[in-house]
Amino acid sequence: MALYKYVALRNNKELFESCIEAANERNARDLIRKAGYIPVKVYEESDEQVSIIRQAKSNIRLSLKEKILFTNSLQSMLVSGIPIIEALIILSKNGDNLRIRKIADDIKTKILNGHTFTQALEIYSETFGSVYLKLCKAGEMSGELDKVLFRLVELLKKQSQIKSKLIAASIYPAVIVIILVCLMGVLGNVVFPRLIGFFNANGADIPVETSILINIIEFLRNYWYMLVIFACGSCYGFYKLFKVPFIKKEIDAILLNIPVIRDFVRYHSLANFVAVLYVSYESGVPITESIQMARDSIENNVLQKRCDSVVYAIKKGALLSEAVINIDLFPPDLMPMIPIGEKSGRLGSMLKDMSDIIDKKVFEIVDNLSTLFGPVMLLVLGGIVAFVMIAFYKFYYGMFGLF
């Protein structure tokens, strides 16, 4: 496949430039006509120009909120009739965020040098991701980039909502850990130092439980940096280990067999899958490619293989409802929505409804995990407090026993 640049006529009155991948020039012209345009000039992009766009990478990273801001700002200007070059110039000069201004300026420069919007975005492929780039490419090919950007804003906002839920769920455990650290600090730096001298002066033995607690506190106070290094090293080690294909495959399978975790992993993956499937399908991407793009948004290896089975069945001529019927991918209560959407010609709206239902289910699962995690943390905290109380009780009992 080669990359061809072309000049085409849109709506029999507007000339525009873009690019397309095709086997040869004739194939490129056929694809342009199928997209609803009249090709005026088609020529192959030079290898040097292609390599510049594909090899150039930027180290600028945007947070999820910044990606939403960039996409939403650009979409708002495009839907108002502002050409994309002018929209990018406005963003690069008047934007409040420095990183967004830099990205907008880089993309504008690439487009002025003859590249398409999607080609220009490729230098930020690690920032925006393959799904974002493919959807923008579909929007350019269909002439509906503003609509695709609008759907991308919805997709990014849903991801942001799920992320916010997860962060909120982690606040309570973090507070518990901070309380424990403060408790240990008070005991180790204020209480025990004042009382141990009294024991030593009278030649009494410190109780075993108190001695263990004191040694733990002393170790944390003197070697806390070793604990930090160990924790960071362990996290990095597990991160690298999780990247090993066969290990990741086993871990993914295990996660789908743990009762509480299973529902979260499945519905979180399904939320991404259906949202991307809806956006790509509504943007005019063929169903097989839409499913492949949705599959790329899933991180669990087991669920990815199920998606591959769906793609294979559809390529063999099956409908989406037929392809997923024997694959444990969608929950049984949502399965009837797919054939209804196909028969009524409203598959896109059905996928949107499914996405909304799954998002609510994800929020419900996160709330349930938070509710379940609370008692578990209380048990852990209760065990630690009980041990501290026993150590204190024996400590004071021994101290009074000296009189």
Taking a C-beta distance cutoff of 8 angstroms, is the pair 128, 148 a contact?
no
Give the closest residue to 310 by CA, choosing from 283, 338, 337.
338
Taking a C-beta distance cutoff of 8 angstroms, is the pair 293, 276 a contact?
yes
Tell me how far apart the alpha carbons of residues 329 and 349 are, in angstroms, rounded to a whole number: 19
Map out the domains of the chain as residue ranges: 1-45, 259-352
Q: What is the per-residue pLDDT for 55?
A: 45
pTM exceeding the 0.85 threshold for the entire prediction: no
Taking a C-beta distance cutoff of 8 angstroms, is the pair 30, 40 a contact?
no
* DSSP per-residue string spanning 365-381: HHHHHHHHHHHHHHHHH
Q: What is the per-residue pLDDT for 49?
A: 47
What letter represents residue 74's amino acid? L
- Around Cβ 298, how many Cβ atoms within 10 Å? 20
Taking a C-beta distance cutoff of 8 angstroms, is the pair 364, 280 a contact?
no
Report, as ranges of residue numbers, the positions in the chain whose pLDDT lies below 70: 1, 9-19, 45-59, 142, 169, 188, 191-205, 374, 395-403
CB-based contacts of 260, cutoff 8 Å, min separation 6: 368, 369, 372
| Entry field: residues in the chain | 403
Fold of 259-352: Receptor-associated Protein (1.20.81)
Residue 166 has, within 13 A of its CA and on its CB side, a CA count of 10
- Around Cβ 324, how many Cβ atoms within 10 Å? 23
Tell me how far apart the alpha carbons of residues 28 and 31 are, in angstroms, rounded to a whole number: 5
Give the closest residue to 298 by CA, choosing from 99, 87, 131.
131
CA distances from 241 to 142, 237, 265, 301 (A): 42, 6, 19, 15
Tell me how far apart the alpha carbons of residues 22 and 279 are, in angstroms, rounded to a whole number: 24
